[in-house]
Structure 1
Amino acid sequence: MVDFPEPTLVPVNGIQLEVFEAGRENAGNPIVLCHGWPEHAFAWRHQISALAEAGYHVIVPNQRGYGNSSRPVEVTAYDIEHLSGDLVGLLDHYGYEDAVFAGQDWGATVVWGLALLHPERVRTVIALSVPYPERGEKPWVEFIADILGSDFYYVHFNRHPGVADAVFDANTARFLRNMFRKNQPPGPQPGMAPIDLAKAEKPVGEPLMSDDELAVFIAAFESSGFTGGVNWYRNADRNWHLLADVDPIVRQPALMIYADRDVVPRGANLTEFVPDVEVVELDCGHWIQQEKPEETNRAILKWLEQQG
């Protein structure tokens, strides 16, 4: 187990976030690390010390719906305006005009949205796994349904509210054990893969983390449940509408870290929407910073050094 900071509850944007910090002596040079689904701030455990030692004030929230952060009941409380507003509130709390923002999985999606909605608060963007979400002509859920089918999990979460959450809540340890794997068979899984994972007796691939590390995730979700995190998905079309009149170009320098074995598709038009982007590829699966922590740290620190 790595050392992990003790949390603080920080009031932001009308809620409270559970926040983990390191490198307070580096005040004035903030980096905010945003986790994905179904995760926890603990997903960044391998990056915190390295970034603090490199001179950063590292701020790692459990975002709304996760851990001991607030879990509003309303689904719309998890749209991109609220999620990005929470990060702006964090900056205000610490007295920062802007910061480096890094996100993995859904955390990357939120950071991309933050860069569009509050560009003056984002110094640079670091995205892992999930590229810039291009806003096409169709709302995202409809677009995904057309390509991957109405039973694909992203669509299912939206059209059958509460069903997946109940399965995850009833099988928390099994679901997370089966989700956090590496060296799995390649290719996207059809249909409701997350529900299948929650019910599967035997996982495929190899464990991503130790039993003690996995226990941190299990304890957090046994306390919080999964509905808050799944509600992020249930705002996909709402987010599509909220971003309709926003300048779609990310003008900050950005680092995009892809995983060669990830099932998430790469951004075909990434440079069109993020013109100042550098792309790095690592030989691993979706959970990049946990599977390849040293390589991830080197890539991030090298790029940040180049940004001055």
Structure 2
Amino acid sequence: MSADFQHRYAYTNGIRMHYVEHGEGPLVLLCHGWPESWYAWRHQIEALAAAGYRVVAPDQRGYGDTEAPLDTAAYDILHLTGDLVGLVNALGVRQATIVGHDWGSIVAAHAALLRPDLFRALALCSVPYLPRSRVRPAVHFASNTQEHHFYQEYFQTPGRVERELEEDVRRALLGVYYTAGGESRRHPEHARIGFMAFPKNARFVDSLAYPDTLPPWLSDADLDVFAAQFRKSGFRGTVDWYRNLDRNWALTPFLDGARIQQPTLFVAGEQDGVIRMTAKAYDALETNVPRLSRKVLLPEAGHWIQQERPADVNALLVDFLRSEAVQREFG
């Protein structure tokens, strides 16, 4: 990781947001997911800056050194997209490419839908564009969690999963990272373990697998960085994103049937459980994103695609940013 990364702050949408910046050129905004931070993009920041881009990776609302409002409703999709609009404006830029992973993909897709004048190109990692459903998420929770917990449903109870995760932050993060990563999916025993669905009599943290040795993409130093960030911020604000799923649905009826019109790249790991969970949206990407440039599944990789396969993701991002379709958007 380069010592040239600049740690800065911007005031946006009523909060103080921390971000890391590196490089010069057209702006590329990198949006992390759960439970991550700007550090999840450590490999991309340097590579994209070397390719001639100004790269900005924020800690999003509730994470790391960015403020975490106490009101759960402050984490709805309009607040989250508003944060990014305000950040880009604070940077003095009028156009940017936005890249998201996991929850960051959901926010990036909404930012592209709501401000196509500002976000001219889009890259989504792990989570495809999820068009607004016909029924609210709570209906799905009620029908699909009769026998097992679904992690997003489990997260709805205030304080429950936060207490579990904060008992041993480093171990909990390791469990989440490993369980959703490609290595666990290839393990003869751990492949049967997962936190997307788990028994009603189990806690979320009890549904995680733990490796004997760290996966090759995650060093002790990396895990220490993530753990220090979450010990500082806690998990409340980060889990409040999930507690706004119904609110997000209620706030966005105007997005029924909306398609993303910007040039878009999608990349994920073949072993990513999210691809199975969002199979319908994944299969419909070409329809819902008419200018989809590429749709790539990297073999043997899991959910943390930009960390598990940084060289592949970096190459795909640079090729996309240099493509004729993206270049036309920026004149």
- What TM-score does the superposition give when structure 1 sets the normalisation length? 0.92
After the TM superposition, list the runs of 4 or more consecutive aligned residues in structure 1 that deviate by more than 6 angstroms: none
Partner of 1:155: 153
Q: Secondary structure at the match of 1:72?
A: coil
Written as runs of structure 1 = structure 2, the 5 A alignment for 1:243-258 is 243-246=252-255, 248-258=258-268
Alignment pair present for 1:197 and 2:205: yes
Report how far residue 272 of structure 1 moved: 2.0
CA change 1:301–1:192 in 2 (3 A) is farther
Partner of 1:17: 17
Report how far residue 205 of structure 1 moved: 7.9
Partner of 2:90: 93
Structure 1: state its 5+ residue gaps.
none
Partner of 1:226: 235
**Letter in structure 2 aligned against 1:257:** V
Q: C-alpha distance in 1, partners of 2:131/2:143?
A: 16
Q: C-alpha distance in 1, partners of 2:255/2:208?
A: 42
**Letter in structure 2 aligned against 1:279:** K
Q: Secondary structure at the match of 1:285?
A: coil
Quick one: percent identity of the two aligned structures?
Answer: 38
- What TM-score does the superposition give when structure 2 sets the normalisation length? 0.86
Q: C-alpha distance in 1, partners of 2:73/2:266?
A: 29
Q: C-alpha distance in 2, partners of 1:192/1:274?
A: 36
Q: C-alpha distance in 2, partners of 1:276/1:242?
A: 26
Is the 2:101–2:126 Cα contact (8 Å) retained in structure 1? yes
Is the 1:16–1:69 Cα contact (8 Å) retained in structure 2? yes
Out of 108, 124, 127, which is 1:111 matched to?
108
Report how far residue 258 of structure 1 moved: 1.9
Written as runs of structure 1 = structure 2, the 5 A alignment for 1:202-281 is 202-203=210-211, 206-207=214-215, 208-246=217-255, 248-265=258-275, 266=279, 267-277=282-292, 278-281=294-297
Q: Deviations over 1:187-236 (max 9, x none)?
A: 75422799543686844785241001110000000010001110001111
Q: Deviations over 1:36-57 (max 9, x none)?
A: 0000100000011110111111
Q: C-alpha distance in 2, partners of 1:304/1:161?
A: 40
Q: Secondary structure at the match of 1:138?
A: coil
Is the 1:20–1:59 Cα contact (8 Å) retained in structure 2? yes
Structure 2: state its 5+ residue gaps.
186-190
Question: Aligned-residue CA RMSD in angstroms?
Answer: 2.2
Which moves more between the two structures, 239-248 or 204-213? 204-213
Which moves more between the two structures, 202-211 or 64-73? 202-211
